[in-house]
Structure 1
């Protein structure tokens, strides 16, 4: 559900390899050390997609998927005005379902995330780990200190243009249209990223993904996307956000700890009941989110919701205002990004 935006050093002048090696070799057991080692491994394993496609040893299904990815990659730059570089023109088989695992955490009686700040990317509501065991170990340590935690796998992330990001085997788990949309989403982060404003960044990239996918399908003579899944995710997100608001009010109250813990449990029971009613009623038995709801729910489980779509309606309105011209749209979004955070949010509220 979320994307790790971690860029360690500048590779645009060719200076990043020694720095990454220094971090990785002297501190591979540290958090930054594992980031350096993981990123170096991806860089080492990259292969040009064109070369893989031309090889007679390439599996025909892989050749087809990679060919489609290159088509989407060209469409992203020629039609959506997204960066034209070598990102997603190289491939890495990571031989695991996720490239990183993100760890979210909150205090026991708070819905505010435990933020983490990084060079370039600014402050975000999670930490990313290249090994699932490391993420789970860090989560266990936080839980022992009384925090609520969530560990969730991520199929792709952007280094914001500081590296040529590869297409990953984990991304190929998605169907064709979802794969194209993911490429559009990640390239949008390369086009614009405002340090410390996750909702702005993710909503912008999510709008580019959705509108880009709509135009991509039209260009290929395909019917419009079935919006049922998107609508139902929005309804699930609404349940989560409502729960978060009620919990915020609860945690601001003067209840004693025992009473607050009981009320917290009751809120998550209420959430599960509301989900079952929605699933078995309006959704007519659609069980697509059952696995998510079956896990232990806590404050951290609510954090990813709202990060990716809060401002999507505002960006859609802005896109319509500029007549669907991508260059004008990106320029207007970049102008918003230069505003102070409070003023930027006010402008987005007007559009929404």
Structure 2
């Protein structure tokens, strides 16, 4: 489908911003590749913004497919609901839509050594060091991945949406994208609520806190949306999807714990670690097939499992670890979103140690014990944030304590 005929041209101011950002990268970076990386980041986001048009333009355009027109009408209701019922920002974000004509907004490249889950890190001026590199073009992401040293295990994964934290609202805000607008109704509403929550509170340098807060708003808001607007089928779809995600996350976190235990065990030779790693990965694939059979053959995670390696497991992080604490804080705030946001802003203003202590105190006692074993945040999560529920199959012997529990990860 073509863009609506009312498409805006890039303003000189917007182009200037892109050039200044690129110049900043060029002035500080020491390698040509770094300059190119900055340039593709700037021009890639600029392209997304240029493609975005007000939802109303797409609804009125005669060549807009009926299904898309209906969904965009529904997003207007979701967006208004976010403001009126969840007290989320009333701005231009998610009031425009862009068809990127590709399957993801960006592709992230992550890498890790053969016998470690510690992600390789890249350092840049201004933004510092990060455990991933994002590309707006899939071919460029794959090309970069192939250029990395052979001793690194590398994976490239698609990211359907990202947030600019409200910094681009004056340019039109974060748009709806074709990469996620077709999600099931409940999932789309939750994604919008999650990303809008990032514009409410942001604690610099604390990814787990920020993501836990957004996930809390996503879940609470998603429940309210489905109660007010969701059909019975929508509620059933969300429940089924959440259960599959929960079970898959449990399985992969168990595998991550097993691998971490093997890689960090003193006295093991590299050969012994490779043998144990092969055993764990073989168990993982068998356990996944068992789980998939219980799902009636659902294949949604086949791609992730096929390319799973140290980089895949290293990129996992417990972004929802503070959801129980923040949910408790929401109830302490009288189930009132504005009061809840004020309380979370107060948390965000604390120094990291004080914030950690406060969140730990808010966490229900039965959940506190499991938090210490959850992996730290290294890269943007490859999976949505869900709570664990059903146990995965028993892990191989290399990952078990004498009494039968996992050394790292959760006991089976």
What's 2:163 paired with? Answer: 158
What's 1:311 paired with? Answer: 322
Matched, 1:320 2:331: yes
> Any conservation in 2 of the 1:103–1:127 contact (CA below 8 Å)?
yes
> Any conservation in 2 of the 1:129–1:135 contact (CA below 8 Å)?
yes
Give the alignment partner of residue 351 of structure 2, picking from 329, 333, 340: 340
Matched, 1:264 2:277: yes
Matched, 1:200 2:205: no
After superposition, the Cα gap between the structure-2 partners of 1:221 and 1:268, relative to the gap in structure 1 and judged at 3 Å, is closer
**Bigger Cα displacement from structure 2, 191-200 vs 80-89:** 191-200
What's 1:331 paired with? Answer: 342
What is the deviation of 1:24? 4.9
Instruction: Find the residue that maps to 1:172 and give its secondary structure.
Output: coil
Give the alignment partner of residue 43 of structure 1, picking from 38, 43, 49: 49
Give the alignment partner of residue 85 of structure 2, picking from 79, 82, 88: 79
Stretches of structure 2 that go unaligned for 5 or more consecutive residues are 1-11, 27-31, 364-412
Matched, 1:59 2:65: yes
Structure 1 vs Structure 2 CA RMSD: 2.7
Give the alignment partner of residue 189 of structure 2, picking from 180, 190, 195: 180
Instruction: Find the residue that maps to 2:220 and give its secondary structure.
Output: helix
What's 1:138 paired with? Answer: 144
In the alignment, the residues of structure 1 paired with residue 103 and residue 251 of structure 2 have an alpha-carbon distance, to the nearest angstrom, of 28
What's 1:237 paired with? Answer: 249
User: Deviation per CA, 1:99-154, whole angstroms, max 9, x where unpaired?
Assistant: 11112222222222334567887765422110111111222223x24222221111
Q: Could you tell me the TM-score, scaled by structure 2's length?
A: 0.74
What is the deviation of 1:98? 0.8
Stretches of structure 1 that go unaligned for 5 or more consecutive residues are 1-13
In the alignment, the residues of structure 2 paired with residue 336 and residue 113 of structure 1 have an alpha-carbon distance, to the nearest angstrom, of 29
Larger Rg: 2
Instruction: Find the residue that maps to 1:157 and give its secondary structure.
Output: coil
Q: Could you tell me the TM-score, scaled by structure 1's length?
A: 0.85
Matched, 1:32 2:38: yes
What is the deviation of 1:209? 1.4
> Any conservation in 2 of the 1:121–1:196 contact (CA below 8 Å)?
no
What is the deviation of 1:239? 2.0
Work out the number of aligned pairs and report it: 336
What is the deviation of 1:286? 4.7
In the alignment, the residues of structure 2 paired with residue 317 and residue 206 of structure 1 have an alpha-carbon distance, to the nearest angstrom, of 14
> Any conservation in 2 of the 1:198–1:307 contact (CA below 8 Å)?
no
